[in-house]
Amino acid sequence: MTKDLQTKSDSALPRSYAARILLDTMGRWGARAGLLWIGIVAFCAIFAPVIASSHPILLQTADGQWTSPMLRHLSAVDVILLVMTFWTGLLLIVRMWVKYPWFKIWCFSLLVLTVLSLSFVKPPKAIVYSHYREILASGDAQYAFFAVVPYSPTDRFRERVEEMRLLSPSGEHWMGTTGSGEDLLSRMIHACRIALAIGFIATGIALVLGVTIGGLMGYFSGIVDLLGMRLVEVFSAIPTIFLLIAFVAFYGRNLYLIMVILGLTGWVGYAVFVRAEFLKLRQQDFVQAAIACGLPLRSVLFRHMLPNGITPVLVSASFGVAGAILSESTLSFLGLGLVEEPSWGQMLNETRGLGGSFFWWMGIYPGLAIFLTVFAYNLVGESLRDAIDPHLKKASHL
């Protein structure tokens, strides 16, 4: 086995450990399937206003002028996401031919774009979704090109509210409508953003905290470890959902607050993982050699030890992302999530109508989306784990 690996890696180009793990992971069907679904969700999240919007993408008014109401109604976040996606693609394509510090340029342009769009992108405040439908009906416009799903997530069809409520799936509304008369598919697509953001940001906060605290505990051991482990015990005793409910009750429904709380309570698992890895690693010869070279602590910890100990943490982080999505869904399902922004858990909440009525499309589609996303992250995590430790996989099959 090891001999096999040896000859393989010797014959190939010099490959780093990370590259080998990545290649091995990508070779597994679980990772591919999981990443495919995450890719679909990410695509929907980025292009949501282009895929689902009540504003026509192109509109030719009666006097023959072409306009794009969709573009005019983009928010600052929409603009940042769309522009950065294309810009990243362009940077990466150019990188194939020319070597340049693309990451620095990327970070810089993200900063510039954020500042610019926050100060200059001002979508109209009062939005009348029915406006363009009325224009078309009255013949004031010659031509209008709508998005694939021609409804915005908060478009409640003011002109005919009563008849639009809780329609079951049909040709016009592929996934039916909600209790307020919004198109479910449009809301599903726009909810991808929250699902992705909450998972990545909450886990990101938890990772940074966990790796730093766990790394220091493992490296210094002794009294630092003793105090750190007590801190871990204190934090692991906090009931996350209860804390979330309490905070939402006091400080209102704020997505960022939810992310921060999930991050602040989720780091303990990573800290314990990293601590165990670092306790093992600090005895390793190459760490001793790095210290003996006179490298500063920062470099020893984060350049030499962390890359060798991070892989198991990444595995648990991919499960952590799934957990964060579930937590947000739980909160929204309990009716404590966001109000205006669509989220899968919140839609699930509306499945039960008054008087025990049940609207199946409100349960199936968001439920399936939550299930598939959590499943996808778990698949990726599992493939990553198998790639890092082939023995574990063998043992689990016995």
Partner 1 sequence: MTEPLLRIEDLAVNFDTPSGVVKAVNGVHLSIYPGQTLGVVGESGCGKSVSALSTLQLVPTPPGCYERGKIWWSAKGEPPVDLLTQTEKQMQSIRGNDIAMIFQEPMTSLNPVYTVGEQILEAILLHQAVGRAQAIEIAVTALEDVGIADARSRLKTYPHQLSGGMRQRVMIAMALACQPKLLLADEPTTALDVTIQAQILELLRELQIKRGMSIMLITHDLGVVAQNADVVAVMYAGRVVEYGSVHDVFDRPQHPYTRGLFDSMPRLGEEKHRLRTIEGNVPDPGNLPSGCPFHPRCRDWQEDVQCAQAVPPLQEVFPRHWAACWHGTGCDQGNASLADIPPVSTTA
Q: How many binding residues for partner 1 (CB under 8 A)?
A: 30
Alpha carbon distance 398, 392 (integer Å) = 10
Contact between 85 and partner 1 (CB under 8 A)? no
Contact between 302 and partner 1 (CB under 8 A)? no
In the complex, minimum distance from the CB of residue 307 to partner 1, in angstroms, rounded to a whole number: 4
**Interface pick for partner 1 out of 8, 18, 392, 396 (rule CB under 8 A):** 18
In the complex, minimum distance from the CB of residue 394 to partner 1, in angstroms, rounded to a whole number: 22
Contact between 99 and partner 1 (CB under 8 A)? no
The interface region with partner 1, picked from 8-16, 125-133, 239-247, 314-322 by CB under 8 A, is 8-16
In the complex, minimum distance from the CB of residue 146 to partner 1, in angstroms, rounded to a whole number: 51
**Interface pick for partner 1 out of 288, 335, 353, 394 (rule CB under 8 A):** 288
In the complex, minimum distance from the CB of residue 312 to partner 1, in angstroms, rounded to a whole number: 14
Contact between 23 and partner 1 (CB under 8 A)? no
Of 19, 34, 21, 33, which is closest to residue 389 (Cα–Cα)?
21
Contact between 293 and partner 1 (CB under 8 A)? yes
Contact between 294 and partner 1 (CB under 8 A)? yes
**Subset of 258-287 contacting partner 1 (CB under 8 A):** 282-286
In the complex, minimum distance from the CB of residue 391 to partner 1, in angstroms, rounded to a whole number: 18
Alpha carbon distance 35, 323 (integer Å) = 17
**Interface pick for partner 1 out of 64, 139, 171, 222 (rule CB under 8 A):** 222
Contact between 299 and partner 1 (CB under 8 A)? yes
The interface region with partner 1, picked from 13-21, 200-208, 336-344, 349-357 by CB under 8 A, is 13-21
Cβ closest to partner 1, residue 298 vs residue 391:
298
In the complex, minimum distance from the CB of residue 107 to partner 1, in angstroms, rounded to a whole number: 21
In the complex, minimum distance from the CB of residue 17 to partner 1, in angstroms, rounded to a whole number: 5
Contact between 291 and partner 1 (CB under 8 A)? yes
Burial of 21 (C-beta count, 10 Å sphere; 0-12/13-18/19+): middle
In the complex, minimum distance from the CB of residue 288 to partner 1, in angstroms, rounded to a whole number: 6
Cβ closest to partner 1, residue 76 vs residue 290:
290
**Interface pick for partner 1 out of 3, 4, 10, 340 (rule CB under 8 A):** 10
In the complex, minimum distance from the CB of residue 225 to partner 1, in angstroms, rounded to a whole number: 9
Q: What does the binding site for partner 1 look like in residue numbers (CB under 8 A)?
A: 6, 9-10, 14-18, 221-222, 282-286, 288-297, 299, 303-304, 307-308
